[in-house]
Amino acid sequence: MALNTALTGINAAQSDLNVIANNIANANTTGFKGSRAEFADVFAVTGLNLNSTATGSGARLQDVAQQFAQGDIETTNNSLDLAISGNGFFVVNDGSGVQYTRAGDFKKSADDYVQTNNGARLQIYPPNGLGGFDTSTLTDLKLVSSQSNATATSLITMNSNLPASATVPATAFSTTDATSFNAATPVTVYDSQGGSHQATVYYVKTATNAWDAHLYVDGNNAGTQALTFDTSGNLATPVGGNLTFTPVNLANGSNPLALSVNVTNTTQFGTDYSAGAINQNGFEAGTLSNIDIDSKGVVTAYYSNNQSTQLGQIAIANFSNVQGLRQVGETTWAASGDSGSAVMGAGGTGTFGDLQSGALESSNTSDTTAQLVNMIKAQRNYQANAQVLTTDNTLATALFNAVR
């Protein structure tokens, strides 16, 4: 009897050592969650009123329980390295189904998808076209590495001051005769293919409080519009401040460039000419220069033309009973009947933790000192049970020799 009981203790201690060994082996595995061996006693069923004299039959491994304590978060230099500070799991799809992980060491595949080391793709909520995200569906995160499309300039905003003391030029207007206009404001504009062009607004005083604005693009005349000011120097006409010019055919394969110039804040004060703030809404094509992921998981692509676009929002999952998750390896888990269905959300909302880009969650067994202490305890249990085997064997041998 004692031999069998001691054997169960040895087997239990060996299982404990195996669990601890796995914890130590994964001390440097990103997102790894350690396990704890849990045991139960083996108690033989006895007859009525005999429990007080039963000694038990040993121990058995009851469960290897995952420990989902937060690991340390360490910063990296990779924007695709992600960590969750708090509750939640990243959602990934390996083609056969959805899985969940805390390991955020994601990489870009050859076809621009963001995926784990074993090829499972990171899941996001796609943009809904209204400035938000469609939380009713999940899709793979794909980085848009192609160029950002060019946009033709359609509006130029100029906040100039035209000097009230200016005189009417004596000569007819000509872009090549500086005496025929009072001021000129150049600005770079873009056609539908992203090509840049030089647009210039020439201001010519025509009468008291009255001016003409001539627009030329690469030397091509886009027409003339009139401005008038009140006695306080503020713009009187056009109402709304928009000057609309004739589209210019640039003869380079792009669409004709139709420009409007907004001069709402243009003034006629007694000070010198000032071009003020100048803005235009066109831009050239741009290449992907950076990916940014904020604490709520919003993935934004930035391009070399100073434009940006939101690619989606990283989905986060949590469970009513994380201990019930079924481990499938590669630091990933799958939902089970014990864990319950995934509760979906986003970083920094509700009970979900914040996302941190450029960081990784280390293994929660990285404190190997604690694991080594547990290993010493398991080793002592193993040795104690082995000693019971030795002692019982010695007593049995003595008994056998005595009855010979």
pLDDT surpassing 70 at residue 48: no
pLDDT surpassing 80 at residue 372: yes
φ, ψ for residue 393 (rounded to 5)? -65, -40
pLDDT surpassing 80 at residue 174: yes
Residue 282 vs residues 207, 223, 307, 365: alpha-carbon distances, Å: 34, 20, 11, 54
pLDDT score at 49: 58
Mean pLDDT for the stretch of residues 94-109: 95
Beta partners for residue 60, in sequence order? 40
CA distance 140 to 170: 67
Mean pLDDT for the stretch of residues 51-73: 85
> Residue 16's pLDDT band (boundaries 50, 70, 90)?
very high
Give the torsion through C-alpha atoms of 50, 52, 57, 58, to 10 deg.
Answer: 170
pLDDT surpassing 90 at residue 307: no
Tokens of 278: 């100048």
Average pLDDT, the chain: 91
Beta strands in 11-94 (DSSP E): 35-42, 58-66, 73-75, 82-85, 89-93
pLDDT score at 37: 93
Cβ–Cβ under 8 Å, residues 165 and 270: yes
Cβ–Cβ under 8 Å, residues 228 and 210: yes
pLDDT score at 273: 94
Query: In the 8-state DSSP scheme, what is residue 339?
Result: T
CA distance 377 to 147: 60
pLDDT surpassing 90 at residue 241: yes
What is the pairing mode between strands 155-158 and 260-262? parallel
Q: Nearest Cα to 204, choosing from 159, 243, 239, 163? A: 163
pLDDT score at 1: 64
DSSP one-letter string for 154-168: -EEEE--B--TT---
pLDDT surpassing 80 at residue 398: no
Tell me the per-residue pLDDT of 373-392, one tens digit each, with 9 for 90 and over: 999 998 998 998 889 888 87
pLDDT score at 54: 66
pLDDT surpassing 70 at residue 28: yes
| Torsion sign over Cα 113, 118, 121, 123 | negative
Phi and psi based region of residue 266 (left: phi greater than 0; alpha: psi -120 to 50; beta: remaining): beta
pLDDT surpassing 80 at residue 402: no
Helix axis angle for 368-402 and 2-25, nearest 10°, is 160
pLDDT score at 7: 87
pLDDT score at 43: 76
Topology adopted by domain 155-280: Tick-borne Encephalitis virus Glycoprotein; domain 1 (2.60.98)
Residue 395 vs residues 125, 152, 273, 323, 392: alpha-carbon distances, Å: 70, 97, 112, 45, 5
**Cβ-based neighbours of 347, under 8 Å, separated by 6 or more:** 84, 88, 295, 296, 297, 314, 316, 353, 354, 355
What percent of the chain is modeled with pLDDT above 70?
96
Mean pLDDT for the stretch of residues 270-293: 90
Tokens of 283: 């831009």
Domain residues of the chain, as ranges?
2-69+365-402, 73-147+287-361, 155-280
Q: What is the pTM assigned to this prediction?
A: 0.74
CA distance 380 to 278: 79
Q: Which residue has the tokens 């906040």?
A: 159
pLDDT surpassing 70 at residue 46: no
Tell me the per-residue pLDDT of 113-169, one tens digit each, with 9 for 90 and over: 999 999 999 999 999 989 899 999 999 999 876 677 889 999 999 999 999 999 999
Tokens of 361: 């969650």
> Residue 367's pLDDT band (boundaries 50, 70, 90)?
confident
